[in-house]
C-alpha cells in the first residue's frame, strides 16, 4: 500500500510548491516520465533548494533520503520523521536505511536520492553511490535521472537567495537490473545539465571539490 500523505507532509509540500513554483518560477520538464508505482529519483545536488524542487510536481508521497546529521536539529528531526524521510550515515554501509528504502519501494512510493552524498560546492558531479540501486533491483523499481538546473544560483551555499528561475528536467527511466544503472543515470544527469546550458565536471571518486583539472567536463 502506498504511503499515505499525512498533514505535516502536506503542509511541507504546499510550502515547497509555493517556494519553487511561485518564488523561483520552477519549470518541470518531462515530469510525465516518472512512472506510476515504485521508482527512485536520482539527481545532482548543489543547493538546499534541490530538496523541495525534485518532488514539487509529484502529487504523491516522496520519501527523501537525507544525511543523518540533519537530525541534530530537533525541529528537522521531528519534521523529517513525520514526513517519512530516511536518514543515512555518509561513508558507511547503512543497512537499516536500505531496509527502510526497500519498504517504501515495496509500498509503491517515490524515493528521492542525491547519490553524490553531499552538495557540490564547485559545480562538479561526483560519483553516484550505488546502494539504493541494489534495493531498486530487488524491488523491480526503475531509476529516473533528474537534472536540477539553476538552484545553486537561486539559493547558493552561504549566500543570499536570488530570484533566479530554476528547472527540474526528468530523464527516461533506467532499468535497475542493469549493473551500471547508477553510472548510466549519472551520465544522463550530466548530459541534461549540459543541454540546459550548465556544463559539469565529472569528478573522480576521491575528489572532494574537483576543479577543471580533476575530471572530464561535459558540455
Chain segment 129-163, per-residue pLDDT in tens: 888 889 999 999 999 999 999 999 999 988 889 99
State the pTM of this model.
0.88
Cα distance between residue 174 and residue 188, in whole Å: 10
Instruction: Find the DSSP H helices in 123-206.
Output: 131-139, 151-154, 181-195
Superfamily, domain 7-218: Glycerol-3-phosphate (1)-acyltransferase (3.40.1130.10)
Cell numbers at 107, concatenated:
509500498
Output the CA–CA distances (angstroms, integers) from residue 204 to 5, 36, 167, 214, 217, in the order listed.
Answer: 38, 34, 26, 7, 12
Query: Percent of the chain having pLDDT more than 70?
Result: 89
Domain range summary for the chain, segments of one domain joined by +: 7-218
pLDDT higher for 196 or 5? 196
Instruction: Please say whether the beta carbons of 24 and 163 come within 8 A.
Output: yes
Share of the chain above pLDDT 90, in %: 62
State the pLDDT at residue 137: 94
Q: Which residues contact 106 (CB under 8 A, 6 or more apart)?
A: 38, 139
Checking if the pLDDT of 208 tops 50, the result is no
Three-state SS for 199? Answer: coil
Sheet holding 124-125, edge to edge: 124-125, 200-203, 215-218
Q: Alpha helices, DSSP H only, in the chain?
A: 7-17, 50-55, 74-83, 95-106, 131-139, 151-154, 181-195
Q: Band of the pLDDT at 217, cuts 50, 70, 90?
A: very low
> What pLDDT, on the 0 to 100 scale, is given for residue 216?
36
Nearest to 44 by CA among 215, 211, 194, 219: 194
Looking at residue 73, what is its pLDDT? 83
Cβ atoms 120, 44 nearer than 8 A: yes
pLDDT at residue 37, as a whole number: 95
Nearest to 57 by CA among 24, 32, 84, 86: 32
Nearest-angstrom CA–CA distance, 126 and 205: 7
At residue 91 the predicted structure's pLDDT band, cuts being 50, 70 and 90, is: low
Tell me what pLDDT residue 211 has: 34
Whether pLDDT at 57 is above 70: yes
Band (pLDDT 50/70/90 cuts) for residue 214 is very low
pLDDT score, position 94? 74
pLDDT of residue 36: 95
Whether residue 209 has pLDDT greater than 80: no
* Residue written as grid cell 560519483: 127
Q: Given this model, what pLDDT does residue 207 score? A: 52
Are 168 and 147 in contact, with CB atoms under 8 Å apart? yes
Amino acid at each position: 500500500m502506498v504511503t499515505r500523505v499525512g498533514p505535516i507532509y502536506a503542509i511541507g509540500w504546499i510550502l515547497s510548491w509555493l517556494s519553487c513554483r511561485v518564488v523561483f518560477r520552477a519549470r518541470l520538464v518531462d515530469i510525465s516520465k516518472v512512472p506510476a508505482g515504485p521508482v527512485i529519483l536520482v539527481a545532482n545536488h548543489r543547493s538546499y533548494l534541490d530538496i523541495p524542487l525534485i518532488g514539487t510536481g509529484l502529487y504523491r508521497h516522496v520519501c527523501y533520503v537525507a544525511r543523518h546529521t540533519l537530525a541534530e536539529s530537533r525541529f528537522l528531526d521531528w519534521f523529517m520523521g513525520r514526513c517519512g524521510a530516511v536518514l543515512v550515515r555518509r561513508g558507511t554501509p547503512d543497512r537499516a536505511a536500505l531496509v527502510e528504502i526497500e519498504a517504501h519501494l515495496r509500498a509503491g512510493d517515490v524515493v528521492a536520492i542525491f547519490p553524490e552524498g553531499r552538495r557540490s560546492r564547485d559545480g562538479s558531479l561526483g560519483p553516484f553511490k550505488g546502494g539504493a540501486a541494489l534495493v531498486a533491483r530487488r524491488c523491480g523499481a526503475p531509476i529516473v535521472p533528474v537534472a536540477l538546473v539553476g538552484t545553486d544560483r537561486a539559493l547558493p551555499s552561504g549566500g543570499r537567495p536570488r530570484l533566479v528561475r530554476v528547472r527540474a528536467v526528468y530523464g527516461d527511466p533506467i532499468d535497475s537490473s542493469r549493473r551500471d544503472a547508477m553510472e548510466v543515470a549519472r551520465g544522463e544527469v550530466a548530459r541534461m545539465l549540459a543541454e540546459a546550458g550548465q556544463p559539469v565536471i565529472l569528478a573522480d571518486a576521491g575528489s572532494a571539490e574537483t576543479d577543471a583539472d580533476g575530471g572530464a567536463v561535459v558540455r
